[in-house]
Amino acid sequence: MPSLILPHYTADAAARQKIRALIGRPVPQARDVFDLYVLSAQPELRELDLRSEFSREELGAALTNIYSVEYEQFRDTVVSFLSPENQERYESKVRWDQIRLVAISLIEQGLRDGG
């Protein structure tokens, strides 16, 4: 899938918004995890430093919430809206686990040393 470019947000701002959503939503959403996965391909996120904006506890909550989102929610709320070729690419529990691991890695990297 090609990288998503949002002309009115930088990748850094979009990633922070998605992390904020993972921390603050009463029910974590698969779309926030998937968006972090897509955003992780952006070069500017290699220098992502989350320490100044989020506490360790908040980022821990975001990580826990990523783990809590089950494949079925991802399939029903994200995959079902993708193009047929991308549905085929993303429609598996193994692929969902890979997506979650990329999102987790992005947060952990930003927590450790800002890139």
- Per-residue pLDDT tens digits for 81-99: 999 999 999 999 999 999 9
* Domain annotation covers residue 89: yes
CA 92 to each of CA 29, 44, 58, 65, 67: distance values in angstroms, whole numbers, following the listed order: 17, 29, 29, 20, 16
**In the block, residue with structure tokens 């952006």:** 42
Give the model's confidence band at 5: pLDDT under 50 very low, under 70 low, under 90 confident, else very high.
low
Answer with the residue of higher pLDDT: 3 or 102. 102
Whether 114 shows a pLDDT value over 50: the answer reads no
Answer with the residue of higher pLDDT: 4 or 111. 111
Give the model's confidence band at 46: pLDDT under 50 very low, under 70 low, under 90 confident, else very high.
confident
Q: Are 39 and 105 contacting, i.e. CB atoms less than 8 angstroms apart?
A: no
How far is Cα 90 from Cα 78, in angstroms, rounded to an integer? 9
Q: How many domains does the chain have?
A: 1
pLDDT per residue over 47-82, tens digit each?
A: 888 988 999 999 999 999 999 999 999 999 999 999
Query: CA angle at residue 100 from 60 to 29, to 5 degrees?
Result: 75
* Domain annotation covers residue 1: no
**Environment class of 72 (CB within 10 Å of its CB; exposed 0-12, middle 13-18, buried 19+):** exposed
Closest residue by Cα to residue 50 from 24, 29, 20, 88: 20
* Domain annotation covers residue 2: no
Residue 17 is predicted with a pLDDT of: 95
Provide the phi-psi class of 114: left if phi over 0, else alpha when psi is between -120 and 50, else beta: left
**pTM for this one?**
0.88
Instruction: Domain of residue 44: give its range.
Output: 11-112
* Domain annotation covers residue 5: no
* Domain annotation covers residue 84: yes
